[in-house]
Amino acid sequence: MFEKFCPRAVAHTLTEIEPAMLVERGIRGLILDLDNTLVKWNTRHYGQGVRRWLERARKEGLELCILSNSTAKRVRAITEELNIPGLGSAVKPWGRSFRKAMELLGTKPEETAVLGDQLLTDVYGGNRLGMYTILLIPLSEKELFTTRLVRTFERWLLKYFRSRGMLKGVI
């Protein structure tokens, strides 16, 4: 039960993930969440080493795309700054937004990894389409009020997965 909410791997930070290892797994494209994954929630403060990591990932040949439920305008400002394609107002976990992101990446689900800090949007959405999902610890405790409510259920889910040995370290 709840398998669709269980990430394939868990990492503390983006920079803990080795892009070359993703390539070795057959991953060619990354769908990246924005808030509390690349930047602190609703800011343009990048997590430590995030911009360098994105460059490294690109050098490994990975295609990148940002997929966010935040407004299209805000997402555009960041995608332009980073020179990475992206989609805002995505309504994750809606499958259509993930499929659109894959179109931008030019990848199939089995070649795509989703990296994000939420089980119910990033992980669930990616798992449903058969992508490789990596859960990250949120960069900041600040978030949308509704997200904070959802966190209670997420904590319960994580406990459930942990007690069954379903959570794996990254890669």
What is the CB-side half-sphere exposure of residue 96 using CA atoms within 13 A? 5
Query: Is 117 one of the binding residues for Mg ion (CB under 5 A)?
Result: yes
| Closer residue to Mg ion (CB): 13 or 108 | 13
Of residues 14, 31, 36, 70, which one binds Mg ion by CB under 5 A? 36
Of residues 27, 29, 33, 40, which one binds Mg ion by CB under 5 A? 33
Smallest gap from Cβ 109 to Mg ion, in A, equals 21
Burial of 53 (0-12, 13-18, 19+ CB in 10 A): buried
| Closer residue to Mg ion (CB): 35 or 63 | 35
Three-state DSSP class for residue 102: helix
Query: Is 97 one of the binding residues for Mg ion (CB under 5 A)?
Result: no
Neighbouring CB atoms inside 10 A of 148's CB total 11
Three-state DSSP class for residue 16: helix
Smallest gap from Cβ 41 to Mg ion, in A, equals 7
**Number of residues engaging Mg ion in binding (CB under 5 A):** 4
Smallest gap from Cβ 122 to Mg ion, in A, equals 7
Report in angstroms the alpha-carbon separations of 152 from 46, 112, 125: 26, 28, 19
How many DSSP H helices and E strands does the chain contain?
A: 6, 6
Contact region for Mg ion (CB under 5 A) — 84-92, 116-124, 129-137, 148-156?
Answer: 116-124
Residues that bind Mg ion (CB under 5 A): 33, 35-36, 117
